[in-house]
Structure 1
Amino acid sequence: MARVRYLGPEPVTVPELDNREVHPDEVVEVPDERFDAYVCQTTNWEPVEEPKGQEPEPLVKKTAAKPQKGD
């Protein structure tokens, strides 16, 4: 399970977590597959622990295109 911190100013009830009441600055566990749905709400949630086995995709270096010679 992944973990996120609630950033809001007042407690909220989270239906997805069995109607659990989450308080400001509280860290809660969320299902790995739903982690992105929380952390995309940057004014309400921040990541604490990312899902296991989910690593950011590495950047792939690409070479610049070679200029084509005109005929």
Structure 2
Amino acid sequence: MARVRFIGPEPVTVPELGSRAVQPDQVVEVPDARFEGYVCQTTNWKAVEEPVRHRGEHGPKVVGFTGTEAVAPKKTTTKKEG
């Protein structure tokens, strides 16, 4: 779980957290998948602890090769017309 700090001026009720009341300057845990939904609200939330990224998550896709992709193409010769 990721952690964010509420930096708004007044307490808020957060339905996603079980209708929990969050006080100004309070740190709460949020689901990793929803972390960006909080920190994009820069006037209300600040990142404290980002979600743990697992290998391959949100990164380049791992591609497997069968072997045929790495084979150099056959050379072709063109007949010179003379």
TM-score normalised to structure 1 length:
0.75
| Structure with greater contact order relative to length (CA < 8 Å, sep ≥ 6) | 1
CA distance in 1 between counterparts of 2:58 and 2:43 reads 22
Trace 1:1-71 onto structure 2 (pairs within 5 A): 1-53=1-53
Number of paired residues? Answer: 57
Q: Secondary structure at the match of 1:42?
A: coil
Q: Which has the larger radius of gyration?
A: 2
Off by >2 Å, runs of 4+ in structure 1:
54-57
Alpha-carbon distance in structure 2 between the residues aligned to 1:12 and 1:41: 14
TM-score (norm 2): 0.65
Query: Where do 5+ consecutive residues of structure 2 fail to align?
Result: 60-82
- For structure 1, the 5+ residue unaligned runs are 58-71
RMSD: 1.8
